[in-house]
Amino acid sequence: MDSLIPFQDLNLLPDPPISSSSTAATHLVTPKIEPKTEPFDEPPPPPAPTQQPQPPHLQPQQQEPQHFAEESPSPPGEDSLYTEFHRVSELFRTAFAKGHRRYGDVDGVDPDSRAIVPFNPEETSQLATVVKPRISYKRSSELVRVTDLGLEDERYFRDLVRRTRMTFDGVRILSMADGSSGKRVRGDLIAASLMRNRGLWLNRDKRIVGSIPGICVGDIFFYRMELVVVGLHGQTQAGIDYLPASQSSNGEPIATSVIVSGGYEDDEDSGDVIIYTGHGGQDKFSRQCVHQKLEGGNLALERSMRYGIELRVIRGIRYEGGITSKVYVYDGLYRIMDCWFDVGKSGFGVFKYKLVRIEGQPEMGSVTMRLAKSLRSSPLSVRPAGYLSLDMSMKKENVPVLLFNDIDTDNEPLYYDYLVRSVYPPFVLHQNRNATGCECISGCAEGCFCFLKNGGEFLYDQNGLLLKGKPIIFECGAFCKCPPACRNRATQRGLKHRFEIFRSRETGWGVRSLDLIQAGAFVCEYAGVVLTRDQAQIFTMNGDTLIYPSRFPAKWEEWGDLSQIFPSYVRSLYPSAPPLDFAMDVSKMRNVACYISHSTKPNVLVQRVLYDHNNISFPHLMLFAMENIPPLAELSLDYGVSDEWTGKPLLLTEGSG
Ligand SMILES: [Zn+2]
Ligand SMILES: [Zn+2]
């Protein structure tokens, strides 16, 4: 720490002063309520007509988009993509068609669940017709700007983008999880291809200038293909996306978005102002080797400047510790203020454009990423005031859990002991006497006992990402002979992301991460002291703070849902799990999860996991990211409470959930 004043970590004080007569035990844990009304579960009816004519794309999407009917040349690599598609179809088919059996100490069996993707010979021919597409997917030439979306429309489009990205990630992770072929699998391309065949790419029927409905400044993408899938930037390679002159109604090209990656020698990026170099004339090392011409994207940028058309800017940023070396951050809208022909560093003529960020937009994602990076290395030099503790866990977690409040004097989280894992009543653990585990000394693979317990699959990929949600996941545990690094122990290795419990005016205490959390990644356990129903009743009478796990809605069902890709997809309910009938006391000990805010459209889900005992009625509640969560963005969890805040301590009243 570079701070001149010695930092007093308040969490290290033996007895934090309690200002009022209230004690920690009487504090009620109330999930924080998102100040929003209930979002749509179903796509809404078409927006009511207003004085302003609605952009045509706001009409409900048609199932079979006719605009895909035109023939256009396939992008390079298309053939291998369809080979991949076929391979993955086979993979899904064989993986899911396995019968499920009853194993050892597992008693949850759903006899009706057999295959996720039911397979019969007729389907092979259906698949075959998909493999050889007769249609291609030319983009529309209609240029629209979407403005003045109502709150409901905004919510609808945000959810549409969210679901689309979840499908993308679900297919991507699943297709990459099978490493048996030994070759590198491009899950992003497979996901994009499958989704295109199903007409699931967004915004192909219109070319949108300006903001894309449902995409927010600061959204982070790991793959260029994902930008194409959501319609943020329609080019898989080129840095400038534009409507070509040949398709434009007035015969002039119009630029809609650029990717600024900092790879070009003549680019200058100072955040709000970018000097962007046009394209053309660069060698494979991004060095200029011939003069640029005012054509294609260069001309489109120049035309956009003349017409005052705004430009979406996406920055490619190096990111260490991710599954890709680079991430793409949407940084919002810029205006092209100037354009000139210049001699570049290599001595060749280049077109330069001065892009200036439009004011009044949220903070740029790339700036937030930089801030988070500084906070990771030296929080006190970035924020000299506001930190109450630099590690609430006092080294019980792998990484620090910080406590920050710069808006008031509340320091309530200091009153609780930090609990890393849930604590179970002795009788739960006593049932372990006859427990069995797998015998995989060198690591678990297909055929392992735990693999079979999970219905013949592992639910995590090699990076520990959740492949799909399940009623319950059996991880390898104390009775298994496999090493701690086993793939099937993803939630036992502790925190990977540095979290910060912070005070906010909107949600009270909340949680954010200083690291980028990738969709599907393990976040943390929801930890507490586990109580049986009888014990819980006594505690409730004392007014203690209890969490009822049965109330968490089954958000895991949304993760890895392939029904949009395979219409006959049925989620496997095996292994099944009984309803939860326990409570957790968090009145004296708790972990970071306890401060996560409530939302009905959460970015974190609860997955039940068993590993240190075999009592299926008392699983661990493990939290996983449902989307890429940018650094410093607030985490949210659906607590299963009404959105309409009644002021009642909902977690205190017992219910069936
Ligand atoms: Zn194992
Ligand atoms: Zn094993």
CA of 490 to the centre of ligand 2 (A): 14
* Contact partners, residue 177, CB within 8 Å, separation at least 6: 458, 461, 462, 467
The domain tally of the chain equals 2
Residue 9 lies in a domain: no
CA of 444 to the centre of ligand 2 (A): 4
The ligand with the least distance to the CA atom of 489 is 1
Backbone φ, ψ for residue 436 (5° rounding):
-125, 160
CA of 323 to the centre of ligand 1 (A): 23
Q: 505: domain range?
A: 388-652
Angstrom distances, CA of residue 462 to CA of 40, 136, 235, 485: 35, 34, 30, 10
Residue 60 lies in a domain: no
Which of these three, 318, 340, 369, is where a domain ends? 369
How many CB atoms neighbour CB 185 within 10 A?
A: 19
340 and 424 inside one domain: no
CA of 450 to the centre of ligand 1 (A): 7
350 and 405 inside one domain: no
CA of 656 to the centre of ligand 1 (A): 35
CA of 68 to the centre of ligand 1 (A): 46
Contact 609, 473 (CB under 8 A): yes
223 and 298 inside one domain: yes
285 and 141 inside one domain: yes
Residue 178 pLDDT: 64
CA of 618 to the centre of ligand 1 (A): 21
352 and 392 inside one domain: no
CA of 175 to the centre of ligand 1 (A): 21
The ligand with the least distance to the CA atom of 447 is 2
**Could you tell me how many residues make up the chain?**
657
The ligand with the least distance to the CA atom of 448 is 2
522 and 443 inside one domain: yes
- CA–CA distance, 88 with 185 (Å, rounded to integer): 10
CA of 627 to the centre of ligand 1 (A): 27
Which CATH number does the domain housing residue 646 bear?
Answer: 2.170.270.10
CA of 612 to the centre of ligand 2 (A): 15
Residue 317 lies in a domain: yes
Residue 47 pLDDT: 38
CA of 530 to the centre of ligand 1 (A): 26
336 and 393 inside one domain: no
- CA–CA distance, 348 with 282 (Å, rounded to integer): 10
How many CB atoms neighbour CB 479 within 10 A?
A: 18
The b/e string for 499-523 (b: 16+ C-beta within 10 A; e otherwise) is bbbbbeeebebbbbbbbbbbbbbbb
Residue 7 lies in a domain: no
277 and 409 inside one domain: no
CA of 558 to the centre of ligand 2 (A): 27
The ligand with the least distance to the CA atom of 439 is 2
The ligand with the least distance to the CA atom of 482 is 1
Nearest to 197 by CA among 134, 114, 242: 134
CA of 621 to the centre of ligand 2 (A): 22
Which CATH number does the domain housing residue 305 bear?
Answer: 2.30.280.10
Which of these three, 306, 338, 369, is where a domain ends? 369
352 and 462 inside one domain: no
State the alpha helices, DSSP H only, in 319-447.
365-377, 379-382, 426-430
Which of these three, 322, 337, 369, is where a domain ends? 369
- CA–CA distance, 170 with 642 (Å, rounded to integer): 29
CA of 436 to the centre of ligand 1 (A): 12
* Contact partners, residue 392, CB within 8 Å, separation at least 6: 11, 400, 401, 402, 403, 413, 414, 418, 501, 592
Q: Could you tell me the mean pLDDT of each successive run of 10 residues in the chain, 657 residues long?
A: 63 58 42 31 35 34 33 41 50 40 33 31 36 56 87 94 94 77 80 94 91 96 96 92 91 95 81 92 81 93 96 93 87 97 89 96 95 95 96 95 96 95 89 79 90 90 91 93 94 96 93 96 96 85 81 92 85 84 91 94 95 92 96 94 43 34
CA of 321 to the centre of ligand 2 (A): 27
CA of 442 to the centre of ligand 1 (A): 9
What is the rounded average pLDDT for all residues in the chain?
Answer: 79
Note the pLDDT tens digit of each residue in 376-393.
999 999 999 999 999 999
Q: Which stretch of DSSP H or E encloses residue 440?
A: none
The ligand with the least distance to the CA atom of 445 is 2
208 and 346 inside one domain: yes
- CA–CA distance, 173 with 466 (Å, rounded to integer): 8
The ligand with the least distance to the CA atom of 451 is 2
DSSP one-letter string for 29-49: --PPPPSS-PPPSSPPPPPPP
The ligand with the least distance to the CA atom of 449 is 2
CA of 506 to the centre of ligand 2 (A): 46
The ligand with the least distance to the CA atom of 452 is 2
337 and 407 inside one domain: no
The ligand with the least distance to the CA atom of 478 is 1
- CA–CA distance, 64 with 204 (Å, rounded to integer): 12
Nearest to 235 by CA among 207, 275, 277, 200: 207
Residue 35 lies in a domain: no
- CA–CA distance, 54 with 60 (Å, rounded to integer): 12
CA of 108 to the centre of ligand 1 (A): 20
Structure-block tokens of residue 443: 């690591």
Q: What is the pTM of this model?
A: 0.79
393 and 365 inside one domain: no
Coil, helix or strand for 517?
strand
